[in-house]
Amino acid sequence: MTANLFKIRAFSEVYQKLMIPSSPEVTNRIITYLEKKKAKPFKLAVDVACGTGRSTRPLAPHFEKVIGIDISESQIQEARRHTQEQNVTYQVASAHKMPLEDDSVDLINGNLAVHWFDIDKFMEEAARVLNINGCMALHAFVPKFEIHYKDMSETLTAIINEGFNNIFKYGGKALALMWSEYKEIFEAVPFSDKQRITGIHDMFLVTVEDVLGFFKASFLYQDFLRKDRDRAIQFLQNIEERLFNILGESDNQINMEFHLEYFCVLASKT
């Protein structure tokens, strides 16, 4: 099962170091939505399937307490290693059975997470732990990217998307849910007060090394690597060569714009 990759320590280290950063734009939209539904101060946020805490830590300034939960011990270990915020803690636990009291949570956050869940079980558990007017935010990015750099943008973008297209066969249902921008997940939300936002844009500056890192941190590539190591390594080397051939140099200090489109399901328990 591909999801078991996240329990492997070596992959957890790669994921923490190389995965696409959490989107500040998405975080801002979530907090703005929560502010419309609940009065401050916000007491407790729970980041489900928090991984290495990349989307957990940005919640810290907005809540008295933030708890990240994940079924992977190795992901939680990485999260603890890279967290300095005093109001953030982590627990090994399932999003299907959270170690939380009824009606105790102001926000459930799920970044690049819910597409791995049993949706019905998760929604039932979310309804249990959220307090009145508590909110749920489930978000990810569309697995299609753009690179902008001088007059080479179109060619660089084509190389990256061709690379990901070649390993999409390892994505399964999780990838299909991301491509649909969580339409099925939105429909499963048990609250009447809900909305699905698409077309949220964010951008990060990246080097060629960063781009290759995003490949390495994806479950798609890691599954490919597990099943055919030699071909997977050659695949990534080929992408690196093509990128540097277009850029005309091997200087890894070149900063390119990496553009992504995010989507977010927001809901409030009324």
List the CATH number of the domain containing 126: 3.40.50.150
- This prediction has a pTM of 0.92
| Overall size of the chain counted in residues | 270
What are 184-234's pLDDT values in tens digits?
A: 999 999 999 999 999 999 999 999 999 999 999 998 998 899 899 999 999
What are 46-102's pLDDT values in tens digits?
A: 999 999 999 999 999 999 999 999 999 999 999 999 999 999 999 999 999 999 999
Helix ranges restricted to H, the chain: 9-18, 24-37, 73-81, 119-129, 153-167, 172-179, 183-188, 208-217, 219-227, 229-247
Q: Above 80 in pLDDT, residue 2?
A: no
Domain ranges, residue 222 = 2-268
Q: Please give the pLDDT value at position 256.
A: 96
Q: Based on the structure, what is the number of domains in the chain?
A: 1
Task: Give dist(CA 147, CA 204) in Å, integer.
Answer: 10
Q: Whose CA is closest to 59, among 108, 93, 99?
A: 108
